[in-house]
A and B are shown apart, each in its own frame.
Chain A
Amino acid sequence: MDFGSIIDAAISDALGPQAVVFALAAIGLNIHFGYTGLLNFGQAGFMAVGAYGLSVTMVRYDMPLPVGIAAGMAAALVLALVLGVPTLRLRADYLAIVTIAAAEILRLVFGAVETKEVFGGSNGLNGYTSTWNSLNPYSGGLDIGIASWSRNDLWAMTVGWIVVGLCCLLVWALMRSPWGRVLRSIREDEDAVRSLGKNVFLYKMQALMLGGVIGGLGGIFYALKQASTVPSDYSTNLTFFAYVALLIGGAARVMGPVIGSMIFWFLMSGIGQLFSQATRGADPLIPDWIMTDTQASLVRYVLLGLGLMLLMIFRPQGIFGDRREIAIDAR
């Protein structure tokens, strides 16, 4: 067992670009679910339109990077509008159904043979990162002993965490304001808010758009750091992992999704590495008849599910949540 490499993998991923992607997705979900109570199960869809908005404009229309980023964000905004207009007047669970369906439809359309000319089929799109790479100021990777990153990762992390920081700042500023108060009130009871003269539909739409655009930013960042946009990356797993990250950190807390995403990737990589080492080699620590090395790569998902269950039972408010708020529900 090489604990050094386990720690290295865990920390590298916890602070790496992958954690940035999930942090952005979870910040968006936090606005939807944590603050406004909108059950959006289609965050992967918002991320996909962000990513494809960027890559299609840059690959098919040869537009520069800023235009691509703007197109990605605009695409997420439009998706929020299209989903919100018919569903936000309905009960909350309808939004969950519609969003998860919309995300799947989008993924299938992006990966379809018929749309290969535009979206590149199941191989997706690539070759749009020359500007992104040329902006990289670093000359090499970074190795701090307990973690290491390549030159490209380092650049992606720098930009990514700055974007995450700005998003957190925006969420913090909005949620301390009367606007945020209306959102939290809508989460508690829509009709009460309506009876006080607030246009509930408008606020829900604004929340859906804001969270969707931040999710879209996550997709744009995903496309840039990965240098390719592939439809299979935007499956429902992405949404559910983002929810896990949010719940670990604590919903309705500004830093909840960020810390949650870091912990999520620390555990995913750390546990993955641990089991992969324990089952590797001629005489593995865990014998073959218990677990083979192919099974080992899946154990982390089992443990993740188990961990989430325990979290919900013993600390439902997550790491940053306020226990008092949760206790009221039990009355």
Chain B
Amino acid sequence: MPVDITGAREALRDLPNDPGVPKPDPIVVGDDITRTFGGLKAVDVEHIEIQRGVITALIGPNGAGKTTLFNLLTGFDVPDSGSWSFNGTPLAKVPAYKVARLGMVRTFQLTKVLAKLTVIENMRLGATGQLGEKFFPAIFKTLWRGQEDEITERADELLVRFKLDAKREDFAGSLSGGQRKLLEMARALMVDPELIMLDEPMAGVNPALKQSLLGHVKSLRDEGRTVLFVEHDMDMVRDISDWVIVMAQGQIVAEGTPEAVMADQRVIDAYLGAHHDTDLSEMDETSLSREVEAEIEAEEADS
């Protein structure tokens, strides 16, 4: 059933494009989240809020800390400092499986389908609160048969929606890259999450499947879920996201609606480099070297 999201979108329209800007109805709120790997500060986020009911894109160049932030928020990695909450529930030190049960489910950049299980078994695994997953009730089929049938019915509906029903009995390991992305998304929906976090849903997907995958991501929002996704594909970001958060070198450098962010000079610099639209060979070599020297001096003065 489509949910009216114009309200949520309108609310975002007038927000300033500053990093960490407060949202009218945030589902996730995080403060001072840092994570260092050796000497590298991979994530250093002062404040982040994710608006409920819309699609938020998390973009940034390679190594900006997007996936690390994902891991931290979902409990797959432990930050050095920081606090964050989901629906008001503090999530620091909450293990990953409990985060998922609260309704915050993620997918992975490198798809993690369970290769030697069939597609339908992959789907069934996603359902939560299964009596048959407890040790002693599992022994007696009569105890969990009814629930299993319900789960299978729900799984079959999702497989039809994601056009995987023809692959129902195949091993998940035999699926193509794009189909694996679809399966992972469908399986995450079996958990019935409020917030679904997609880590590069378009990576390794052929262009023909991309359009349908875009449609699926939109449909998640249209049925009332909040979507947060990491992506490199700017066309996709522009096409489907309602809000964009830009990360560079572990920090949030800008936020805003897609149109505003694409025009933001900070974003262009972070993403494409300050000279992205000029041909370096045509630039005056002396002015270029002067600029570089100035930059080096500035950095030396900093340290």
Contacts and interface: CB of A to CB of B under 8 A. Distances in A.
To the question of whether A and B form a pair in one complex, the answer is yes
Nearest to B139: A173
Interface residues of B, number: 41
A181 B97 contact: no
B162 interface: no
A178 B124 contact: yes
Contact of B96 (A173, A180, A195): A195
Contacts of B173: 328, 331
A192 B107 CA distance: 8
B117 interface: yes
A193 B190 CA distance: 13
Interface in B114-155: 114-117, 121, 124-126, 128, 130, 132-135, 138-141, 144, 148
Interface in A199-250: 199-200, 206
A60 interface: no
A270 to B, nearest CB: 34
B116 A197 contact: no
B114 A178 contact: no
B271 interface: no
Nearest to A322: B116
A196 B190 contact: yes
Nearest to B116: A325
A196 B138 contact: no
Interface stretch (A25-33, A182-190, A261-269): A182-190
Contacts of A173: 138-141
Contacts of A325: 116, 171
Interface stretch (B2-10, B29-37, B98-106): B98-106
Contact of A188 (B74, B116, B133): B116
A195 B108 contact: yes
A102 to B, nearest CB: 24
B290 interface: no
A196 B185 CA distance: 11
Interface residues of A, number: 31
Contacts of B107: 195
B171 to A, nearest CB: 6
Interface in B187-225: 187-188, 190-191
Interface in A163-180: 170, 173-174, 176-180
A188 B135 contact: no
B112 interface: yes
Interface in A72-131: none
A197 B113 contact: no
Nearest to A324: B171
Contacts of A170: 139
Contact of B76 (A176, A188, A194, A198): A194
B133 A196 contact: no
Contacts of B135: 174, 179, 206
B174 interface: yes
B139 A184 contact: no
Nearest to A197: B100
A329 B115 CA distance: 8
Interface string B63-88: 00000000000101000000000000
B188 to A, nearest CB: 7
Contact of B132 (A179, A197, A200): A179
B236 to A, nearest CB: 22
Nearest to A172: B139
B100 A179 contact: no
Contact of A195 (B100, B117, B133, B144): B100
Given A174-B138, A196-B125, A197-B191, A189 B112 contact: yes
A288 interface: no
Given A176-B141, A178-B130, A328-B174, A196 B187 contact: yes
A184 B132 contact: no
A184 B116 CA distance: 8
A280 to B, nearest CB: 48
Given A184-B116, A188-B117, A174 B124 contact: no
Nearest to A188: B114
Q: Which of A176, A188, A325 has the most CB of B within 10 A?
A: A188
Contacts of B108: 191-192, 195
B115 A195 contact: no
Closest 5 CB pairs of A and B: A179-B138, A178-B132, A328-B173, A197-B100, A192-B112
12 contacts: A173-B140, A181-B125, A182-B133, A184-B114, A188-B117, A191-B96, A191-B108, A195-B106, A195-B112, A195-B188, A199-B95, A325-B171
Interface of B: 74, 76, 95-98, 100-101, 105-108, 112-117, 121, 124-126, 128, 130, 132-135, 138-141, 144, 148, 171, 173-174, 187-188, 190-191
Given A177-B132, A178-B124, A187-B116, 9 more contacts: A174-B139, A177-B139, A178-B130, A181-B124, A184-B117, A192-B112, A192-B113, A195-B106, A195-B108
